[in-house]
Amino acid sequence: MQEALIQRLRSAVGHEHVTARPDDLRNYAYDGSIDRAAPEAVVFPADAAQVAAVVRACEELRCPYVARGAGTGLSGGAIAEFGGVLISTARMRRILDIDAANRTALVEPGVVNAHISAAVATLGLRFVPDPSSQSACTIGGNVAENAGGLHCLAYGVTSNHVLGCEIVTPQGEIVWLGGRENETAGYDLLGVFIGSEGTLGIATKIAVKLTPQPETTRTLLAVFDSVDDASKAVSDIIAAGIIPAALEMMDRLSTQAIEAYVHAGFPTDAGAILIADVDGLQESVGETAAAIGDVCRRDGAREVRLAKDEAERERIWRGRKSAFGAMGRFSPSYYVQDGVIPRTKLPEVLAEVEAIGRRYGLLIANVFHAGDGNIHPLIAFDEKVPAQVDAAIAAGADILRACVARGGSISGEHGIGIEKRDCMNVQYAPSDLALMAKLKAVFNPGGLCNPAKMFPTSRRCGESARTLQRADLPEGIAPAAGPAF
């Protein structure tokens, strides 16, 4: 990396908040996904002005840069694939303002998702989006990926709970998209920005919507002998006009992985379990929970259990949120898919997932947001065995094709990043992608802001494309400017 750039970075954020020591950089080569590439420097800016100074330095000296929150992303969004500068938001973690009367808060991007709800709990409020990694992931990353969560069935995803963002554009300007009110005039640039995976700029302040805590919440656990029965129950619950706050399914492998250490009280011999949260007014919640229980029993549930207290509720949800990490009990790595399918297709897609696993000789556990048809097959593999890596990636692509073939999508909430970019062609026509590229070029004309993420490369979907080391910046991004994907 050019010494001149390091000097610029140091004067932008302070000498001690820049590291280019190769040993330090090793720990910034990974996130929660399977890709790896070390940046050439990591900077820790304290505010928007410092982020802007870093961005301007990178743009002027033609160096790629990527923002990173907690590094829990599942699609490689925060991987510095082409080296360059990694901009960590670890020092930008203040909750700047809480406006209880208007139910909003203004936070910095490095604030941990769960810390927002913790900070407003005594006011009877919460921040609804709750990805499984909410105890660690940051709101900046949630905005970049338009993260979902367990309770997005009833409440919506991140974009439904963010009112505005202050961002640093790749030109180094500090601008606001949206505001702190519910509606803003003109183009919905905030809608464009949320979920843009760090390719359009870097959020430096985020105005979030706060939601009153429900009067009461009941959690129900239903145990089924087969995934088919559980899938049918999901469809029947929604068909009955019931919208639970959350409706989650896990198959036997998932519950076995979780019970191996976390002990959430899940049966390990069941074909599948359903977890439903019902919230609202005291009177209606009991009725709704009973109605869900009835549907489950009618569809063959062998047991329906209502969490008796808050401790049991917490244990059940902690178990569910542990599902990904618990895969470590089976294999050193997992490759998680994030397909979305129409709910009614659950049984046939799951049967196909199982067949794909058999075909590649890989263990695949299933855990998913059943209510909105967002499936998370967890493909177990060992990253030390190259053949298994290739097989896992190929199996993942087959699963995504199966989702798209049934009218679904390749990503619900984890983003495209590096991992799924070569499958974008499966979902979108070239003209769709060209329009997206034009939009990107408006914000990010040099292409240096999180380069090459989200857009397909020359590889085919499923072709082994795991990033394991720093790559050369593709032509067209540097040094000449221009739209690129």
Partner 1 sequence: MPGVSPGYSGPERPALADLDLCTRCGLCEQACPTYRLLGFEPDSPRGRIFLMKQVALGEAEINQHLADHLYRCLGCRACETVCPAGVPFGRLLEYGRFQVEQHRDLAPHSKGWMIFRQLAFRLVLPRRWLFRALMWPSRAIASVPGFAAAFDTLPRGNRLRRLVDMLPRRDKHVEPSASAMPPVTPAIGRRRAVVGLLLGCVMDSLFRHTHEATVRVLARNGCDVRVPTGQWCCGALNVHAGERAIAKDLARANIDAFGRAPLDAIIVNSAGCGAVMKEYGELLKDDSEYAQPALAFAARVKDVTEFLAETSLVSGFAKLPIAVTYQDACHLVHGQGISHQPRALLQAIPGLRYIELRNASQCCGAAGVYSLTHPHLAQAILDEKIEAVLETSADVVATANPGCSMQLQAGLAQRGSRMRVRHVVEILDEAYAARSR
Residues making contact with partner 1 (CB under 8 A): 21, 23-24, 26-28, 30-32, 44, 70-72, 88, 90-91, 93, 110, 112, 114, 133, 135-137, 258, 260-262, 321-329, 331-334, 382, 384
**Pairing mode, if any, of strands 85-88 and 41-43?**
parallel
From the centroid of its chain, how far is CA 211? 21
Question: To the nearest whole angstrom, how small is the minimum distance from the Cβ of residue 379 to partner 1?
Answer: 12
d(CA 460, CA 422): 6
Backbone angles phi, psi at 420, to 5 degrees: -110, 10
What would the DSSP string read from start to end of 354-382?
HHHHHHHT--EEEEEEGGGTEEEEEEEE-
Judged by beta carbon, residue 30 or residue 428, the one nearer partner 1 is: 30
Q: Which is nearer to partner 1, 114 or 441 (CB)?
A: 114
Calpha distance 452→463 (Å, rounded): 17
Tell me the CB-side half-sphere exposure of residue 7, using CA atoms within 13 A: 4
Nearest to 294 by CA among 361, 217, 237, 228: 237
Whole-number minimum distance, CB 252 to partner 1, in Å? 17
Q: What share of the chain is helix, strand, coil (3-state, %, to 5)?
A: 35, 20, 40
Pairing of β 174-178 and β 374-381:
unpaired
Extract the tokens encoding 31: 């996130």
User: What is the nearest approach in angstroms of partner 1 to the Cβ of residue 43?
Assistant: 12
Nearer to partner 1, 261 or 282 (CB): 261
- Report the C-alpha gap between 399 and 401 in whole angstroms: 5
Report the candidate in 217, 213, 193 with the shortest Cα–Cα distance to residue 205. Answer: 193
C-beta closer to partner 1: residue 54 or 461: 54
Cβ at position 28, least distance to partner 1 in Å: 6
Q: How far is the CB of 33 from partner 1 (least distance, A)?
A: 9
Please report where in the chains the tokens 């059940």 appear, as a residue.
Answer: 316
Give SS3 for 254. helix
CB of 395 to partner 1, least distance (A): 17
Radius of gyration over every alpha carbon of the chain, rounded to an integer in angstroms: 22
**Angle, helix 48-60 to helix 3-13, in steps of 10 degrees:** 170
Q: Find, among 402, 407, 421, 405, the residue nearest to 463 by Cα.
A: 421
If the CB atoms of residues 42 and 452 are measured against partner 1, the closer one turns out to be 42
State in angstroms the smallest separation of the CB of 355 from partner 1: 25
DSSP strand pairing (85-88 vs 65-68): parallel
412/313 Cα distance (integer angstroms): 26
H or E segment at 103? none
Q: Minimum Å distance from CB 398 to partner 1?
A: 22
Question: In the bound complex, what is the minimum distance in angstroms from residue 42's beta carbon to partner 1?
Answer: 8
Shortest distance, CB of residue 186 to partner 1, whole angstroms? 36
Query: What's the token pair of residue 66?
Result: 């990527």
Q: Of the two residues 15 and 384, which places its CB atom closer to partner 1 in the complex?
A: 384
